[in-house]
Structure 1
Amino acid sequence: MMNPPVPPSVLQNIFPTAEEDAKLGNTPTAVPQTEHPAYRLAFQDADFLLREDLRPVRFQLELMKPEVLLAEADIHSTFVFYGSARIPSPEEAPALIAAAETPERKAVAARLARNAQYYDVARELAVKVSTFCKDGERCFTVCSGGGPSIMEAANRGAWESGAPSLGMNIVLPHEQVPNPYVTPGLSFQFHYFALRKMHFLMRAKAVAVFPGGFGTFDEFFELLTLVQTGKVAPLPILLYGREFWNRVVNFEALAEEGVIAPDDLKLFHFVETAEEGWAIVKAHYGL
């Protein structure tokens, strides 16, 4: 007969914790051996953890840290917002146009300003989803990339409704500070895009995609691929801005060329307003 497993509490009484040993290990007697980096505890040795061959460990840490903290915060389902970091808020749009110095830049600024309406739409949608509860539990926690523009609008809507929201920031060559509306304890920073994208979708119950550039395209089309191939269960994918998307992507041509199936065009919904998008989500889940 096998012996029963030893309860974790008993193991903790037998062995010192990592925290305890870390304190002891930081105050060794100063001799050549203890002064050498090789003597550091492995989990306290930043130089060791940053080595090229420790990448698998860093992957695991970047997967685990948000996972553990979100579980502790009791956040199990999210409403994800994708979109440009360059679209201004309606209040900022006039200044953006005024600052443009050439006709070409003024034209670009005018197009960005035209999409400023989606800042307010994202903000309004975030309010709606943040305040919805079923059986006393919040069903959708707003999650964005944590940056400015559309991302800021999403976190701002949650903040204005008194709800927590996530920010999944990433290290970029030019510093990107989290927008001020992300809940501080739910603001994460990533090194690996792959792990960041995993965390975007691991708890996602719906995704709203607003006009954006390469980053938004990357996230949106990867999501479509995952649903198309059955790696992610079907979920509401709201594509905001029919005029924008049909100008930059010819979805119908993809089907006509045979590289996607006509039914693949049903994986997402073109929408314009917060009410329209929220109605699709509620219908999908029978809320």
Structure 2
Amino acid sequence: MKTTVLTSWSQFMNLTSELDGWAFRGQQKADWLLESSLSRYLRAYIEDRQAWRSREERAIRIFRRKAHNFLVHTDLLENDLRCLALMQHHGAPTRLLDFTKSPFVAAFFALERAVDDAAVFALNTPALWNNRAYPKENAKLTRDVIDPRIQGNLDRFFFCNTNSVIWFGEPTEMDDRIVAQSGTFVVPGIIDRSVQEILDGYAADEELLHKIVIPSSLRVEAMKWLYRMNLTNASLFPGLDGLARSIALELEIVWSGMSVG
């Protein structure tokens, strides 16, 4: 994995413009591994990795048994990927990693609450989409073969936790947050390895992952640029909750010589 440490915000804009079609994920600490909230949670609280698979299965089963009380359309629970996306949407730890097709949305999530150096990871999704990159252990496990939107494939290729693969994409029906954030998901086949480790097992003649470190010294300038682009919690999380979360940034952004708000 190549790493670039930025020296200016303009460097970020120039660099990401070269990564046409890639997907991006922002993380508020540059030294965090590229892994799901489920992996991070299990690593922190469940020492026995052999139990991780059963714990994940139990969490999904409990959600499915109880979530119908709060849903108008309970069919969301029937499709595996839509169910995971719903869990992710409402804050449950899942194996899904939120990515976006916009490097600027990723930068916002990286920097919004960052107090140290942050990072944006760029994933070469065109190479994965066109099968220019494939798992060395089993080249037949292409993106189309393992597609978790096909019912049964999450059980067959992912929940078994034995296939060192990743898939990216969105559920067939996208909710308002995915639309607002130009979102997509990365789904790892093994939850006790980071995405970096899984991609190390891929055959490819091109770069698959690029880590862009944003030093804390660039945060103020970057957040002002993102604010000008209307990238706030209010725009990225439609609804009153997003608006309320966006007020924190209003405490920071004050234009010199102007009275705003």
- Judge same fold: TM > 0.5, yes or no: no
TM range (shorter): under 0.3
Which structure ranks higher in relative contact order (CA pairs < 8 Å, sequence separation ≥ 6)? 2
TM-score after normalising by structure 2: 0.23
Length-normalised TM-score, structure 1: 0.21
Structure 1 or 2: more helix by fraction:
1
Structure with the greater alpha carbon radius of gyration: 1
